[in-house]
Amino acid sequence: MNESASRRIYLDHAATSFPKPAEVGAAMLRYLEEIGSAPGRSTTRRGLAVQKVIDRCRQQAAQLFGATRPEHVIFTLNGTDSLHLAIHGLLREKDRVVTTVWEHNSVLRPLHQLQKNRQVDVAIVPDDRNGRTCLDQYRAALESAPRLVILNHASNVTGIVQPVAEMARLAHEAGAFVLLDAAQTAGVIPVRQSELPVDLIACPGHKGLPGPLGTGLLVLSSGMERELIPVRLGGTGSQSESPEQPEMLPDRYESGNLNAPGLFGLDAALQARFSAGELSHGFELIPQFLDGLESLPGVQVLIPDRTLPRVPVFSVRFERLAPHVVSTLLDEHFGIETRAGLHCAPLAHQAIGTFEEGGTVRFSFGPQTSSDDIDDTLTALAEITAAL
């Protein structure tokens, strides 16, 4: 094995994208060094300049997600914060919610708390043993008239895309609202409210989009503001004379100062994305990666089915090595960055049979991932397995 890596190979885009477009850092630095005013709190020239950038960022996000109006895009702290607002803002005492084994702890932990604090009834639909939700059991769960259905668009463990259009249609027929967790799909594959019948889309701004950490979005369908109770109240810079939280959007859900440096970066990321057009995110590298892994002894890709739609996220099991050991060897000896463990999705790992062994090594590609990166990764894995 190499004692030191000659170059960095970043294969952890499911955690956060890297490198960011150069425009992202430049925009954030411009805010910090040249502007510095708080958004929505000043009518000075610089204060208005900040608001103009944030408004443009909101408009671009609305265009990307097919939102009815820009003010239906709510800026949050991150994807977890978006999900928290949707879940805590929608679920009332003793409501019923249906979700799946593919969910992240950003969904599972709020639901666990609400089971204790609000006696919310939670139904978790199992998998079909082939990487997707069992639709027969999903239909059965909908028969009890849930208020909310939460659907993971693509698993951050397996990369498999769920049939959310069909699942959302069934949920609406049962009278439920639908919250889509698009953490792994926003900016990677089309996620548009005009095409997917969902009521809320939650995602971070730092993965497929690819803005900086500390940014998130919750996209509301028209009328959801009448159902979604704000969970963070306070100063908005508007209607300051009233003790009531403003009703108008987006102020209803955006209390406190927004992350202006982050939103400058997100605005630049969205501009760069629209300028570049559709990006590959490494989809073309999937056959090369899977073919190479198939030739390695003692290596197993979880849910390798090539007939299923997926994003380029893979969980890999190593017969004689713990996942954290493999990830450490790849980083320290080859400069290849992955993520090992349960990936904050314990039920998903239970579904694919890797929970008891501490999870898997996750490889995830981005727009800058190259064929050479995949070749070097496969070579490194061959060296590791040969050493055993």
CATH code for the domain of 318 = 3.90.1150.10
Number of domains in the chain: 2
pLDDT tens, per residue, the chain with 388 residues:
554 457 899 999 999 999 999 999 999 999 999 999 998 777 899 989 999 999 999 999 999 999 999 999 999 999 999 999 999 999 999 999 999 999 999 999 999 999 999 999 999 999 999 999 999 999 999 999 999 999 999 999 999 999 999 999 999 999 999 999 999 999 999 999 989 999 999 999 999 999 999 999 999 999 999 999 999 999 988 889 999 999 999 999 999 999 999 999 999 999 998 887 767 889 999 999 999 999 999 999 999 999 999 999 999 999 999 999 999 999 999 999 999 999 999 999 999 999 999 999 999 999 999 999 999 999 999 999 998 7
> For residue 160, what is the domain's CATH number?
3.40.640.10
In a domain, 47, yes or no: no
Asked whether residue 83 falls in the same domain as residue 177, the answer is yes
* pTM exceeds 0.85 for this model: yes
Residues contacting 215, CB < 8 A, separation 6+: 75, 76, 77, 78, 204, 205, 206, 259, 262, 263, 265, 266
169, part of any domain? yes
Q: 199 and 88, same structural domain? A: yes
Q: Is residue 13 one of the residues assigned to a domain?
A: no
Whether 17 is covered by a domain: the verdict is no
Domain C-terminal end among 204, 219, 250: 204
Whether residue 286 sits in one domain with residue 191: no
Maximum C-alpha span of the chain: 71
Verify that 189 and 290 share a domain, yes or no.
no
Rounded CA separation 216/84 (Å): 11
Same domain, 96 and 199: yes
Residue 116 structural domain: 79-204
Q: Domain end: 181, 204, 227, which one?
A: 204
Residue after which a domain boundary falls, among 173, 188, 204: 204
Within a domain: residue 361?
Answer: yes
